[in-house]
Structure 1
Amino acid sequence: MFILFGLIMGSWTGRIPAIRADLQIPHFALSMVLLCGGIGAVISYPVSSWMMARLGGRKTVLIAGLALLAALVGIGLAPSVSLLMAAVFMLGIPAGCLNVGMNAVATTLEKASGKSTMARLHAGCCAGGLAGATLGGLMASMNIAPARHFLLLAAPLAVLVWLACHLLKAVVVDDDSAISDTKTSDAKTSDASPDARAGKKMFALPRGPLALLGTLVFLGAMSEGSIADWSGVFLKDHFGVADAVAPLAFAAFSVTMLLARLAGDRLKGRHGARRLVSWGAALAAAGLLFAVSVDSAYLALAGFGAAGLGLALVFPFVFSAAGRQGPVALAGVATMAYSGSLMGPPVIGALAHGFGMQAAIGFIGVLAALIAIVAARAGMLK
């Protein structure tokens, strides 16, 4: 499911340039279109908490996954900017629900097995995203319209979503999302326990110790989203690289993030989540400050690669820690993550406009340093 989620979202982002060209969307209007997706995701978290409490983890993942594919098709078929905004908004809602559902079920499985698996699962999401973006580029090179691309993708992926959730049925009990074959009573603690774990609240922003986890993903989302949107612009504006070279900054960031997540669970057993997130964020800060201080675009790529290594484990380890507190806590923390992703790119854009791209990318390095400081104090991050 993590791979499929990444594949769906990567397919959408990979076709944004084609959709923009087809509808002749100016830059400002495109930013509003993308903002609609983030707003939909933020709104989704009370919905995801309700679904988890009423339906359980597996059914939430199934319904949200199929709805996400339907929204993707709607994006491809949208004939105008206003309808595209509505379709992207509708994409954000099941994306948020699926994100919470997957991580909640994964936390339950992780707790029952006694093994850390969250980083590897998030690596699957990275791999799916890279595959989706690559597929989008291939479809574009073959002059296949986004509408046809998404329609061709929807049917087989719907079958895979159903199959994945059907296979989950063997180990996840919907009424309490527990592991059916575990021998310990602790494993029957729900990943989405109805009111027993969440009380009567269906949604609440994180407070107390959970607020530190929320702060970590807020800063992490600001950093990741800003690098995704502005790293290529930095290479092009600051170093004057060709259009074909500019995307290599985010590619370097994504590949090293994937590699770090593949190794993250093993490293967690040796060093602990808090130390890995804090040290990793310090590495990311150093990498980004290196990228803005060198005089070669290819040396700057090394800095963005270091940032990918350093920020890779923020989301999987924070979501794992929040998920152990139940779906309401996970939804609240995830809301802060999407809030950060909404805020980051515009802030970086304003800094770039006022002070230049070096200062803007350097500010992301400051955010990474703040992650290192906050992570060192986050007692729930284990």
Structure 2
Amino acid sequence: MKSLKLILSNSRYFAPAFVFTSLNVWFGTWAIYIPTIKEKLVINKADLGIALFCLSLGVFTIFPVASKIINKLGVGKATWYSVVLCSVTALFPFLVPNYYLLMGSLFLFGMSHGLLDISINTLVTEIEKEDKQNFMTAAHGFFSLGGILVGLGSFLIPIIGNPIMHMGVTVALIFVINLFIRKNYIDVVATPVDKEPFSLKLFKPLFLLGLIGFFAFGSEGAIVDWSGLYLKEVTLAPEILIGSGFLAFSAAMTFGRFLGDGISARIGSIKIVMLGTIIAAVGFLFVLSENTILSIAGFALNGLGFSVIIPELFRIGGNIKGVDSAKGVSFIAGTGYSGFLLGPVILGFLAESASLKHCFYALLGCIILVFGATALLRKNKV
């Protein structure tokens, strides 16, 4: 909890942490309205999978140039400009009148989201180096806090009855807060590093971290995208509980991330990632029970398990000797979001040809693969 107190007591740490919150508020508000937009545009699960592929494609497209943009602008300015872009593009999916424009709007939203994701993780890495303070996992906890806010807001869906108004008010509020706090990070620039030439020694840890990120990002994103539909169509949950899976996932993830820095300091990054995979696997078994309450509990265990995996990957990637922080973060984010790129398409077609339950069997398999890759990472003593 030390890192949480640090964030809440100092605006230098709170400002970037709130950007993480903003990311999940924008993305989560879109996610809870996926069933509504699916019905509005009259598309099937396979079409929805392709649309989500476009969002992931937008995220993935920005990664090869993200480090250059960040180093050119300065990581603080890159973060702020990305906040502005996300504020605009988050509205696009709610305004489009047809399926093809939905794909285009999600691509633009994905690009903005991807640039901000890399910028903010690089920003936190640089502040950690400069101040010799660890708050990466707790900052990711604020990302999860955004999910809690979205999940609580989902209970208002039947009352509001207007997705565009809901997203519009959300975007305006989040933008104004970021406008006032941007002064705390906008002038931060990355510290130059002595770069080493490419070698297998550098590539091996990055490859394993990227492999873990591929399955972890894909699985985490799938829960966000498909949890509402799973509760609605598989467990036959009432409308008021459709957003509960996402809420439980985000609440447990927030709790885990606020504790993660302390646990990681005691047992090490590798062990905490392995522990997280075990907890997440148990969560998927609960989800596969097809019982609404057990499935919601399963999503909570998923959130607790996944809570530390991604922050630890970014922390390790941003501190690999001989690799500048923006490139290390970009590599892990790029390979990780490849899971986002392929996951929605595969799961969409799997859901359409078989069932959503088969999708979650596939996700259980993915978390087992993450455990195996982490064991290899431990063997290589990264």
Shorter-chain TM-score: what band? 0.7 to 0.9
Instruction: Name structure 2 gaps, 5 residues minimum.
Output: 1-18
The residue type paired with residue 361 of structure 2 is G
Alignment of 1:119-138 (within 5 A): 119-135=137-153, 138=156
Matched, 1:95 2:113: yes
Deviates more, 1:6-15 or 1:129-138: 129-138
> Which residue among 178, 181, 189 is the counterpart of 1:161?
178
Relative distance call for 1:29 and 1:348 in structure 2 (3 A) is closer
Structure 1 partner of 2:311: 316
Q: Structure 1 300/155 Cα, relative in aligned 2: closer, same or farther at 3 Å?
A: closer
Superposition deviation, residue 91 in structure 1: 0.8
1:50 CA drift (Å): 1.5
For 1:1-382, list aligned pairs within 5 A. Answer: 1-135=19-153, 138=156, 141-146=159-164, 148-169=165-186, 172-174=187-189, 177=190, 189-190=191-192, 197=195, 207-235=203-231, 238-292=234-288, 294=289, 296-325=291-320, 326-351=325-350, 358-378=357-377
Compute the displacement of 1:370 (Å): 1.9
> Which structure has more RCO (C-alpha within 8 Å, separation ≥ 6)?
2
Q: Match of 1:114, as an amino acid?
A: K
TM-superposed deviation, 1:46: 2.1
The answer on whether the counterparts of 2:48 and 2:348 sit within 8 Å (CA) in structure 1 is no
Cα pair distance change 1:285/1:17, threshold 3 Å: closer
- Taking structure 1 as reference, are residues 328 and 144 closer, same or farther at Cα in structure 2, changes over 3 Å only? same
SS in 2 for 1:324: coil
Deviates more, 1:237-246 or 1:43-52: 237-246
Query: For the Cα contact (< 8 Å) 2:32–2:243, is it kept in 1?
Result: no
SS at match of 1:54: helix
Q: CA deviation at 1:48?
A: 1.4
Contact (CA 8 Å) 1:68, 1:95: kept in 2 or not?
yes
How high is the sequence identity, in percent, across the aligned residues? 27
Displacement after TM superposition at 1:100 (Å): 0.2
Distance in 2 separating the partners of 1:157 and 1:250: 20
Cα deviation 1:167-215 (Å, max 9, x = unaligned) = 114xx533xx3xxxxxxxxxxx34xx7xx6598x9xxxx9321011101
Aligned equivalents of 1:17 and 1:246: distance in 2?
Answer: 10
98-107 or 77-86, which deviates more:
77-86
Contact 1:15 1:140 in 2 (8 A): no
User: Relative to structure 1, is the Cα distance of residues 322 and 145 closer, same or farther in structure 2, using a 3 angstrom cutoff?
Assistant: same
State the alpha-carbon separation in 2 of the partners of residues 60 and 198 from structure 1.
25
Q: Give SS of 2:203's match.
A: coil
Deviation of the 1:355 alpha carbon: 6.1
CA distance in 1, matches of 2:129, 2:381: 15
Superposition TM-score, scaled by structure 1 size: 0.82
Q: Partner of 1:249: helix, strand, or coil?
A: helix
Give the secondary-structure state (helix, strand or coil) at the position aligned to 1:116.
coil
Alpha-carbon shift at residue 28 of structure 1 (Å):
3.8
CA drift of 1:55 comes to 1.0
Aligned partners of 1:235, 1:145: CA distance in 2, in Å?
Answer: 20
Q: How many equivalent pairs are there? A: 356
Contact 2:122 2:326 in 1 (8 A): yes
Please report how far the alpha carbon of residue 60 of structure 1 lies from its aligned counterpart in structure 2 after TM superposition: 0.5
Q: Shift of residue 314 of structure 1? A: 0.8
- 1:100-136 deviation digits (Å, cap 9, x = unpaired): 0000010111223333211111110111133235446
Report deviation, 1:241.
Answer: 4.1
The structural deviation recorded for 1:78 is: 2.7
CA distance in 2, matches of 1:29, 1:354: 12
In structure 2, the CA distance between the partners of 1:162 and 1:149, relative to structure 1 (3 Å rule), is same
Counterpart of 1:101 in structure 2: which amino acid? S
Structure 1: which amino acid aligns with 2:360?
I
Report the CA distance between 1:368 and its aligned residue. Answer: 1.4
1: distance between equivalents of 2:25 and 2:377?
A: 32
Query: Given the superposition, is the C-alpha separation of residues 221 and 322 from structure 1 closer, same or farther in structure 2, using an over 3 Å criterion?
Result: same
- TM-score under structure 2 length normalisation: 0.82
Distance 1:142-1:116 versus aligned 2 partners, 3 A rule: same
Q: Which amino acid aligns with 1:143?
A: G
Unaligned runs of 5+ in 1: 178-188
Query: Residues 51 and 198 from structure 1, CA distance in 2 versus in 1: closer, same or farther, beyond 3 angstroms?
Result: farther
